[in-house]
Amino acid sequence: MKIHNDLLLRVAKGEKTERPPVWLMRQAGRILPQYRSLRASLSGFKELVETPHLAAEVTLQPVDELGVDAAIIFSDILVIPEAMGLPYEMIEKKGPFFPNTIQSSKDVSNLIQGENAADELGYVYQAVETTVRELQGKIPLIGFAGAPWTIFSYMVEGSGSKTFSKAKKLLYADPVVAHQLLTKITNTTISYLKRKIAAGVNIVQVFDSWAGILSPAQYETFAIPYLKQICAAITEVPVIVFARGAWYALEEINKLDCAVIGLDWNTPAYFARQKLGNNRVVQGNLDPCFLYAKPEELVKASQEMIRSFNGHHIVNLGHGVYPDTPLENVKAFVNSVKAFRY
Amino acid sequence: MKIHNDLLLRVAKGEKTERPPVWLMRQAGRILPQYRSLRASLSGFKELVETPHLAAEVTLQPVDELGVDAAIIFSDILVIPEAMGLPYEMIEKKGPFFPNTIQSSKDVSNLIQGENAADELGYVYQAVETTVRELQGKIPLIGFAGAPWTIFSYMVEGSGSKTFSKAKKLLYADPVVAHQLLTKITNTTISYLKRKIAAGVNIVQVFDSWAGILSPAQYETFAIPYLKQICAAITEVPVIVFARGAWYALEEINKLDCAVIGLDWNTPAYFARQKLGNNRVVQGNLDPCFLYAKPEELVKASQEMIRSFNGHHIVNLGHGVYPDTPLENVKAFVNSVKAFRY
């Protein structure tokens, strides 16, 4: 399908444009009153993820409300462990919880993987199809998955954690089992992303949310090789890799065959450009808390950020937008980017 | 008092030594069976912090058991907000909780500060005096405090947080109030550290545990100036500044008038040396999860780390030791450092 506003895709491919495209991580979520009211009528977060027409509805909510240059399919990175045979619950105000976790080679061998696991996620592909149909080619639709290390960290730890020390322990204490699990996650992620692409997403983002808790040596051993496999396998659409906190591995990430590299808000533009070069397409990276500032300060900061990256840049925050962010500030941010000209 | 093993102090002053000194953040804690059994007999964590002879006992436990080159007084960074008039509870398995938080200029003006606040912490100075007496000059005693930004983040947020978005929000939404609070915390911290020094600590460490969640611009505005005041004020003993996650601000931190810069485990030695120079004394930075590896791998990694920093280096982990770390691995780590020769 022809995309009318294809600014994001053109920048991802390396084209120069008169302004950067803009979207926000978690733009489909609690910042929108229409999301909050729909969510309140449901049994829980997972009902929203697993009901295709609702996931599509929520995906579309920010499109007109915010005027962003891309939609991102509403879903959860943890659908992958569940499809592999490790179910989870989403506990209100606490986050994900896995009643069972992976600790041994036997646990890994009990998991299904690849196409068989991807078969379990029909509701995601249906949500993508519905969204694509309703978007009518207005803007691109982004699909996503967690990076293997991040998915691994939840499957071993069993929940969110400040340190993920149980997950990291397995890397040091039993690297063979760790690689077995990472391989199965990677195979599944590739199958899953290919199905999402077949269903209609125009670009995909891989979120390595817990990259920042690994040491440089561990990231090189347990994260980079699997990201490399994913980037090599996904040839149909551009791939964005966002490894939060992996400033120390930017040179390794730069070698990946991906179209775009996401940056968190810690990473100064000069540092990113020094490690990645001026022509690498980057995405980010305003501190999400800047959206609590006065709109005029926010607009100034957003324009400074755009100038500091100096092109080959997709504007976003350096992290998902926080739920209590004032909606008028989100709009001021998006509008300031759309008014910008290089 | 003459210190018999003064390796840590000599390295902190820039002297060359035949091996680096070694101690571990949280060495007085749950890794030791004697700590766990004492702790189990008490009503809670705060009883331990607030009872001088118990705090001293726990401080001394690792000295012979581990053979480290320094003791660090057992205490908590959150005694400072409490002394300023903002009490907290330590909730088992959850962490600190402040029933009241700071949100406005009026809240800040209700806080006491400086010498008046430092007066409230007699139990800490008594614990230091008891410890110094019992150490008999065997090794140096380290005193510590939280950095102003980290203390601020708890006082505003009210508890630990993944994002500290409430604390960060105040920086953006009301920078005047933020600076008022940071000033009061800084004044109190200086008075408090001077009392600890008068009571007998030989060196102090300032922990900026939440440095990593600020953007570079915010760190420069809301953290560096207050660290600078502390470093300028503490002239009696060497100061270690450990700003976890502040890799992006290492050049600013390098300008502080402190003796030692602590490094987290994300920060490669080559990067630290590039930003700080070869003669800057650094402390760190093995990944605490490396202590879950086989002892022979751990020893190899610890020696590689020592070589990579190439002198002017105090060996430590890049974070506090995790409670479930096998004691024999902690000992293998300490012993491997003590056996090392440059």
- What pLDDT was estimated at residue B14? 98
- Residues 61-100, chain B: which have Cβ within 8 Å of A? none
Contacts of residue A176, defined as CB under 8 A and 6 or more positions apart, other chains included, come to A105
Q: Does A175 touch chain B (CB under 8 A)?
A: no
Q: Does B161 touch chain A (CB under 8 A)?
A: no
Distance separating alpha carbons of residues B48 and B55, to the nearest angstrom: 6
Spell out which residues of chain B touch residue A290, defining contact as CB-CB under 8 Å: 172, 215
Closest CA to A198 of A266, A125, A277: A125
Rounded alpha-carbon distances, angstroms, from residue A264 to B217, B223, B263, B277: 14, 19, 20, 27
- What pLDDT was estimated at residue B127? 98
Closest CA to A285 of A297, A274, A295, A271: A271
Distance separating alpha carbons of residues A241 and A262, to the nearest angstrom: 6
Spell out which residues of chain A touch residue B263, defining contact as CB-CB under 8 Å: none
CB A67 within 8 A of CB A78: no
Q: How many residues does chain B have?
A: 342
CB contact under 8 A, B322 and A165: yes
Token digits of residue A141: 């639709």
Distance separating alpha carbons of residues B133 and A111, to the nearest angstrom: 58
In this complex, the residue of B212, B289, B324 whose CB is nearest that of residue A266 is: B212
Instruction: Give just the sign of the alpha carbon dihedral B68, B74, B80, B83.
Output: negative
- What pLDDT was estimated at residue A272? 98
Nearest CA in chain A to B322: A165
Q: Does B45 touch chain A (CB under 8 A)?
A: no
Distance separating alpha carbons of residues A153 and B306, to the nearest angstrom: 29
Q: Does B175 touch chain A (CB under 8 A)?
A: no
- What pLDDT was estimated at residue B93? 86
Instruction: Give the rounded distance of the alpha carbon of A56 from its chain centre.
Output: 17
Q: Does B216 touch chain A (CB under 8 A)?
A: yes
Spell out which residues of chain A touch residue B247, defining contact as CB-CB under 8 Å: 247-248, 266
Active site residues of A: 26, 30, 39, 76, 154
Instruction: State the DSSP code for B261.
Output: E
Neighbours of A116 (CB within 10 A): 15
Q: Which domains does chain B have, with CATH numbers?
A: 7-339 (3.20.20.210)
Stretches in chain A below the pLDDT threshold 70: none
Q: What is the pLDDT along chain B (342 residues), one digit of tens a residue?
A: 799 999 999 999 999 999 999 999 999 999 999 999 999 999 999 999 999 999 999 999 999 999 999 999 999 999 999 999 999 999 988 999 999 999 999 999 999 999 999 999 999 999 999 999 999 999 999 999 999 999 999 999 999 998 999 999 999 999 999 999 999 999 999 999 999 999 999 999 999 999 999 999 999 999 999 999 999 999 999 999 999 999 999 999 999 999 999 999 999 999 999 999 999 999 999 999 999 999 999 999 999 999 999 999 999 999 999 999 999 999 999 999 999 999
Buried b (16+ CB within 10 A) or exposed e, B28-46: bbebbeebeeebeeeeeeb
Chain B: nearest CA to A100, how far in angstroms? Answer: 20
CB contact under 8 A, B266 and A289: no
Q: Does B212 touch chain A (CB under 8 A)?
A: yes
Token digits of residue B22: 């070694």
Token digits of residue B9: 């102090």
Owner of token pair 């607030």: B50
- What pLDDT was estimated at residue B248? 97
- What pLDDT was estimated at residue A25? 98
Contacts of residue A73, defined as CB under 8 A and 6 or more positions apart, other chains included, come to A55, A59, A124, A127, A128, A131, A141, A142, A143, A144, A196, A201
| Residues β-bridged to residue B281 | B260
Distance separating alpha carbons of residues A296 and A332, to the nearest angstrom: 9
CB B85 within 8 A of CB B158: no
CB A118 within 8 A of CB A188: yes
ipTM surpassing 0.90 = yes
- What pLDDT was estimated at residue A1? 76
In this complex, the residue of B212, B265, B322 whose CB is nearest that of residue A215 is: B265
Distance separating alpha carbons of residues B237 and B118, to the nearest angstrom: 18
Instruction: State yes or no: is B39 an active-site residue.
Output: yes
Contacts of residue A4, defined as CB under 8 A and 6 or more positions apart, other chains included, come to A137, A138, A139
